[in-house]
Structure formats: structure tokens, C-alpha cells
């Protein structure tokens, strides 16, 4: 079980949402991410889609790594590095998906906006603490 008590004691940047916002937001985002992947998988074409799969897998690995680094290891700086790499990878993933499906790429945009906001929050936590 993760102890979130230390997080509650941190100085938070402006616009930090209440904790209850995160679960519904991620449910929505993971749904759109999954739908984007399904659309990408279903597209039949002559060109290789390998790059899109690589970006997708890499961004999901970075996404999964962020929480234990931030909440378990309590390493705000390393979490910030990971989320910056996540921002870049999701952006590249969107560009690659767009070559095959504007809809698949568009479904990743709310995710990209959310993680940019999360990057702001992580940066603020790093700066203020």
C-alpha cells in the first residue's frame, strides 16, 4: 500500500486539482488511449506501422513508471524527467498515428494535454519542495 501522507504535506502549485479528479480523468484517458490503439491496429496499409507501435509502447512504459517513481520512491526530480520524456514520446506517438489515422491521433490529444498539465504540476512540486 502506498503512503500518500507525504504528498499531502507538500506545497502544491496553483491549479492543483483535488485528489478526486485524478481517477475519473485517468479512466477517460485510458479509454481514449485504448480506442486510439485499436483504431491504429485495425488500419490495413502497405507502409510499416512499427514506429507507431514503438512510440506507443515506450509512452505506456514511461506512463507506468511515473507513479512508482513519484509515490513509492518519492523522487520528484526523477519523476519530472520521466514525465518530460513522456511528453515528447506522446507527441511523437500522435505524429506517427496521424500518418495512418487522424482519429487515432486525435484521441491521444486529451492525454497529451493532461500530461502537459501533469508536467506543470510535477515541475511546481519540484520547485516548491
Is 13 buried (19+), middle (13-18) or exposed (0-12) by CB count in 10 A? Answer: middle
pLDDT at 19: 86
For residue 100, give the nearest of 34, 51, 30 by alpha carbon: 51
pLDDT at 1: 61
CB 85 within 8 A of CB 61: no
Give the predicted TM-score (pTM) of the model: 0.94
With a cut of 70, list the residues of the chain below it in pLDDT.
1, 3
Reported as a single tens digit per residue, the pLDDT across 6-20 is 999 999 999 999 989
pLDDT at 4: 80
CB 71 within 8 A of CB 122: no
Reported as a single tens digit per residue, the pLDDT across 66-77 is 999 999 999 999
pLDDT at 5: 86
CB count, 10 Å around CB of 25? Answer: 16
Amino acid at each position: 500500500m502506498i503512503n500518500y501522507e507525504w504528498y499531502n504535506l507538500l506545497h502544491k502549485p496553483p491549479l492543483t486539482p483535488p485528489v478526486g479528479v485524478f481517477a475519473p480523468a485517468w479512466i477517460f484517458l485510458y479509454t481514449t488511449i485504448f480506442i486510439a490503439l485499436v483504431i491504429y491496429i485495425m488500419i490495413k496499409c502497405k507502409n510499416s506501422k512499427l514506429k507507431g507501435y514503438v512510440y506507443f509502447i515506450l509512452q505506456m512504459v514511461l506512463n507506468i513508471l511515473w507513479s512508482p517513481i513519484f509515490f513509492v520512491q518519492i523522487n520528484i526530480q526523477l519523476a519530472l524527467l520521466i514525465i518530460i520524456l513522456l511528453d515528447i514520446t506522446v507527441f511523437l506517438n500522435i505524429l506517427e498515428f496521424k500518418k495512418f489515422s487522424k482519429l487515432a491521433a486525435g484521441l491521444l490529444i486529451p492525454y497529451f494535454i493532461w500530461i502537459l498539465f501533469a508536467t506543470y504540476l510535477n515541475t511546481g512540486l519540484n520547485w516548491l519542495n
